[in-house]
């Protein structure tokens, strides 16, 4: 793996687009960094590495299917150990390359104004990472900028975004954290979420990784609103949910994110189990609401095993086995079924 290939892998990891094997590889590198030469890395280096992959490490790691056991066919000779040492050397070389790449300082432009505001812009082609004065962490996407008071002073922690960024906000119930774009205002007390609102576009979106997020239109926004007391015309988002603001329609539309992540791992192997049990496991794992006709599926059973398929692929497989189909209504999944099919044995 070359350095550019590794960097592309890291970007896919941060965007949640890695395969299970690639995700396990990146997280293995991260774990190795903490134990380099048998010692914990210096704090400043550890922070730099952590900033590069913290966003994806926030979610509960999905269980990785064990790799098939391979019985070695080599004879126990010095050649075997030489080959093993050579492989180890190559692996360590890649690890060192990855470490040096991750420790490259963020290439952010920073401009301070006379009235106490600080503007950070990302002119590069890569996501850049930094911390705010309250220890909140920001992943700033290419072509994006974030403006905030130097010390985040005041009763509210206010930042102004143009472009796209992922936030991990330090918890402080006494001082809400507000993200302003030209379209929407997002309010949190401490959680992680993504905001996308580029200057060239009229629409904006907010997607939640964990916790609760309150979103409202920028025009006429109620700035004292919060996730505990959202604005009357606002939207409250939970993990795996997002809201899209349409400037043309001047409305907020709540929906599921394109690729929900597992929030609470569940057993996904079912042998002649009630369909309601399978749907319940999916609801718990992804924190979603699934609505279906309980009477029609009351006596139905199904045998099915899920692995690392995305949620919507799991639903497709289940519906296929039921002779059913599903649709989405806002952030709710609707299962449409006429009841048990003869091949289910239910």
96 shares its domain with 113: no
Asked if residues 195 and 226 have their Cβ atoms less than 8 Å apart, the reply is: no
Beta bridge partners of 213: 237
From 102, 121, 143, the end of a domain falls on 102
**Cα gap 295→300, rounded to integer Å:** 10
- The CATH code of the domain that includes 316 is 3.55.50.30
Beta bridge partners of 253: 244
216 shares its domain with 151: yes
Residue with tokens 């402080």: 172
Whether residue 34 lies inside any domain: the answer is yes
**Cα gap 288→240, rounded to integer Å:** 8
Specify the pLDDT at position 311. 97
133 shares its domain with 208: yes
**Cα gap 334→293, rounded to integer Å:** 9
250 shares its domain with 127: yes
- The CATH code of the domain that includes 252 is 2.60.120.1440
308 shares its domain with 219: no
Contacting residues for 62 by C-beta, under 8 A, at least 6 apart: 20, 23, 261, 262, 265, 308
Whether residue 139 lies inside any domain: the answer is yes
Biggest distance spanned by C-alpha atoms of the chain: 76
**DSSP codes, 153-203:** -SSSEEEEEEEEEEEEPPP-TTS-EEEE-SSEEEEESS-EEEEEE-TT-S-
Q: What is the mean pLDDT of each run of 10 residues along the chain (346 residues)?
A: 67 69 68 44 41 46 40 40 46 49 57 81 93 94 94 90 96 92 93 91 90 92 86 92 90 94 94 95 96 92 94 95 93 91 45
Contacting residues for 229 by C-beta, under 8 A, at least 6 apart: none
Specify the pLDDT at position 63. 43
Whether residue 261 lies inside any domain: the answer is no
Domain around 295:
269-344
Specify the pLDDT at position 30. 58
Specify the pLDDT at position 248. 84
Residue with tokens 């394109």: 258
25 shares its domain with 73: yes
**First-to-last CA distance in the chain?**
50
95 shares its domain with 126: no
Beta bridge partners of 256: 241
Specify the pLDDT at position 9. 75
Nearest CA to 178 out of 113, 232, 132 is that of 132
Domain count, the chain: 3
Specify the pLDDT at position 79. 45
Whether residue 262 lies inside any domain: the answer is no
**Cα gap 137→58, rounded to integer Å:** 12
pTM of model > 0.75: no
Specify the pLDDT at position 18. 72
Strand 289-291 versus strand 332-336 pairing type: parallel
Cβ contacts of 223-229, under 8 Å, gap ≥ 24: 223/156, 223/178, 223/185, 225/187, 226/176, 226/187, 226/189, 227/187, 227/188, 227/189, 228/189
Specify the pLDDT at position 45. 41
DSSP, collapsed to helix, strand or coil, labels residue 94 as helix
């Amino acid at each position: 793996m070359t350095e550019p290939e590794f960097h592309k892998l890291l970007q896919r990891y941060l965007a949640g687009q890695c395969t299970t094997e690639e995700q396990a590889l990146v997280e293995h590198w991260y774990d190795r960094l903490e134990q380099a030469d048998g010692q914990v890395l210096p704090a400043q280096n550890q922070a730099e590495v952590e900033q590069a992959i913290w966003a994806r490490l926030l979610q509960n790691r999905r269980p990785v299917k064990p790799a098939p056991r391979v019985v070695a066919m080599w004879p126990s000779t010095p050649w075997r150990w030489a080959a093993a040492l050579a492989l180890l050397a190559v692996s360590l070389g890649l690890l060192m390359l990855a470490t040096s790449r991750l420790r490259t300082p963020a290439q952010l432009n920073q401009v301070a104004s006379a009235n106490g505001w600080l503007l950070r812009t990302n002119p590069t082609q890569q996501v850049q990472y930094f911390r705010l004065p309250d220890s909140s962490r920001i992943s700033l996407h290419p072509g994006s900028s974030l403006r905030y008071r130097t010390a985040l002073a005041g009763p509210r922690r206010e930042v102004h975004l143009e472009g796209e960024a992922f936030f991990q906000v330090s918890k402080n119930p006494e001082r809400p954290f507000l993200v302003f774009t030209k379209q929407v205002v997002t309010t949190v007390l401490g959680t992680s979420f993504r905001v996308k609102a580029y200057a060239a576009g009229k629409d904006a979106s907010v997607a939640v990784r964990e916790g609760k997020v309150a979103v409202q239109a920028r025009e006429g926004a109620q700035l004292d609103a919060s996730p505990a007391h959202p604005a009357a015309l606002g939207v409250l988002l939970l993990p795996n949910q997002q809201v899209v603001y349409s400037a043309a329609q001047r409305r907020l539309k709540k929906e599921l994110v394109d690729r929900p992540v597992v929030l609470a791992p569940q057993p996904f192997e079912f042998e002649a189990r009630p369909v309601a049990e399978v749907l319940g496991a999916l609801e718990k794992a992804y924190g979603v609401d699934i609505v279906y006709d309980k009477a029609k599926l009351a006596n139905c059973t199904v045998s099915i095993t899920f692995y690392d398929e995305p949620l919507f692929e799991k639903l497709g497989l289940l519906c296929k086995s039921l002779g059913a189909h599903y649709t989405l209504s806002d952030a709710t999944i609707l299962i449409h079924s006429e009841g048990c099919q003869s091949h289910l044995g239910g």
